[in-house]
Amino acid sequence: MGALNIVFGVVILIINGWMANGLSMNYYIMTCPIADIIVRNVVQTALQSDPTFAAGLIRMHFHDCFVEGCDGSVLIDSTKSNTAEKDSPVNLSLRGYEIIDAAKRALERQCPGVVSCADIVAMAARDAVFFSGGPLYEIPKGRRDGTRSQIQDTFFNLPGPSLNASGLIAAFGKRGFTAQDMVALSGAHTLGVARCSSFKPRLDAADPTIDTSFAKTLSKTCSSGDDTEQPFDLTRNTFDTNYFSALQRRAGVLFSDQTLFESPATRGLVNMYAFNRAMFNMDFQRAMIKMGLLDVKEGTNGEIRSNCHVIN
Ligand code: HEM
Ligand SMILES: *[C@@H]1O[C@H](CO)[C@@H](O)[C@H](O)[C@H]1NC(C)=O
Ligand SMILES: *[C@@H]1O[C@H](CO)[C@@H](O)[C@H](O)[C@H]1NC(C)=O
């Protein structure tokens, strides 16, 4: 009887692909079967005209998930009576909102009122990884959109660039991530840039963990102002292991990047990922799927927003 139940359960699991939390790989199979394809096409088109948006989309998913769970709260606009997450100083130059909007418009034409903004953010991040040369992976869907987006929620939930390895391990650990998840996820910095203001404190403090010639590079970037962008690695639009190689050369841009190599707790992981791209890809995709399940709303919680910028 018990065995039969287990067999039955496994069959159901396979048929539906359900995850324990109510999300599933084929969540939209009856209601919007080409949802993934629609998002993928919109993202592909956008990245063909500006590949730097891949970084923006991946980062947006991170910021969405770490504040109030992956519920699209990062997309909400402020109103007269509410300052939203988006307008926090730690929104850290988030980009790619237009791409999410374009995908939402295309989805609403095809299957109105069905696909959540939170799922669009998660799918767009997945596609951005793939189109910049990273792994191709499938993600569970069924996240519902949240109805809260408040500036103060960003202050304690997002780890800052001045954290050392133990601080990062603690910040991610609190949300259920291992040190290995954290290092793999930090590998997202294989894409994109940081602005001078995010690393200037290291120069002011003459941080000894910066290679001397790289310190000159960073100073030169800052000589053009606080908003000047410094790529994290030599290939800012390509998903590769150059970020980890940079850390080995002490050419990490943020303190929170370089500390991963300086700390004995995480150095082995940096060395492994620098050396083994397949391992990085595998751990990264696993950690992204895990991040995409953080405090998701499903069932009767949340809503399907009709405009990603406003609560229904
Ligand atoms: C480990 C803790 C992390 C810290 C302290 C951190 C901090 C930062 C900072 C300060 C910037 C630069 C912002 C600016 O100056 O405009 C940045 C950029 C970025 N972050 Fe992180 N981050 C972390 C983890 C992550 C994770 C988990 C992801 C995604 C999975 C991610 C994806 C990105 C991307 C792609 C960029 C570049 C954005 C662009 O070029 O538009 N970061 N991060
Ligand atoms: C980020 O926040 C600043 C205020 O700190 C605001 O001026 C800016 O428009 C915000 N950026 C985005 C993309 O919302
Ligand atoms: C990491 O940072 C915390 C908090 O700032 C500090 O107490 C701790 O000593 C630091 N750890 C190391 C190894 O530097």
Where are the domains positioned within the chain? 3-159+294-301, 165-285
Distance CA 186, CA 237 (A): 16
The CATH number assigned to the domain with range 165-285 reads: 1.10.420.10
Alpha carbon 161 to its chain's center: 16
pLDDT for residue 15: 47
pLDDT for residue 293: 97
Instruction: Check pLDDT > 90 for residue 206.
Output: yes
Atom of ligand 1 nearest to the CA of 236: 40
Residue 144 pairs in a beta bridge with 297
Fold of 3-159+294-301: Peroxidase; domain 1 (1.10.520)
The answer on whether 50 is annotated among ligand-binding residues is no
- Dihedral sign computed on CA atoms, order 86, 152, 73, 284: positive
Active site residue 309: no
The CA 10 to ligand 1 mean position distance, Å, reads 38
Which H helix or E strand runs over 229? strand 229-231
Record the tokens describing residue 293, joined without a space. 């399940």
In three-state secondary structure terms, 121 is helix
Distance CA 157, CA 261 (A): 24
Average pLDDT of the residues in 91-110 = 93
Residue 79 pairs in a beta bridge with 82
pTM of the entire structure? 0.92
pLDDT for residue 22: 83
pLDDT for residue 1: 47
Which ligand is in closest contact with the Cα of 195? 1
Distance CA 148, CA 85 (A): 9
